[in-house]
Chains A and B, each alone.
Chain A
Amino acid sequence: MNKNDRWISKNFGKLVDLYGGRYVAVADERVVAVGARPEAVERKASRRPGLPASVVRVPSLGQGPALDPLRLFRLS
């Protein structure tokens, strides 16, 4: 994992609380872009110099229509 991914891993819960259901780009240990569409977030993040940003779709717990997102769903 690169530096951005390690930061995401440590702060995943915060990202869910703050940005659930959206895409975020993380660079230099901070969120540099947020949006509903990944292409726009990647484009905005790519304008920054330095290490490429990591883009992640942040889950939003509680919005799943029929599926319990914590139990996820079992296809076996």
Chain B
Amino acid sequence: MIRFDYSVFREGKAPVIPVEFWGRGRWHNLWVYVDSGASFTILHTYEASRLGVDLRKCPKFYIVVAGDRRIPVFTRTLKLRLDRTVVPVEVGFCSALGGAFNLLGRKGVFDRFKVCFDDRNETVSFNKGGRRR
């Protein structure tokens, strides 16, 4: 079991945790908001250069947001390390995150770990022991 305390954020706390992504031949520490409502992981396009990802070579699709604006999301599968466990995760790079958090979404993560948000104790835990039915 891998457990993280929530991060202190303004008046409250939020499941913002450090994880590591592989890029440019080494692990990079990135902070992400664990978001059970996001289908997959979204990082800001700024992080692409840090991780050595050339967005021009990535497949892309569009999401539609308020005002019918189409925003490109570039996808790439990267290695994610949570504590000592490494899993491949499909990551979307999106400039429309603006100043917001990087998001750790479900695909590749919630289907490999049982993820438990414990708001009472302000922790989020990842359990590898879950058996697939």
Contacts and interface: CB of A to CB of B under 8 A. Distances in A.
B29 A54 contact: yes
A9 B99 contact: no
For the side of the interface on A, what is the size category?
20 to 34
B89 interface: no
A13 B8 contact: yes
B67 A66 contact: yes
Contact of A57 (B39, B46, B71, B105): B46
A60 B98 CA distance: 8
Interface residues of B, number: 43
Interface string A46-76: 0000000011110111111111010011111
Given A12-B8, A66-B66, A20 B99 contact: yes
* SS class, residues of chain A in contact with chain B: loop
A16 B11 CA distance: 13
Contact of B49 (A38, A69, A75): A38
A8 interface: yes
Given A72-B100, A73-B65, 8 more contacts: A8-B7, A9-B7, A64-B96, A64-B100, A65-B96, A69-B100, A72-B38, A75-B42
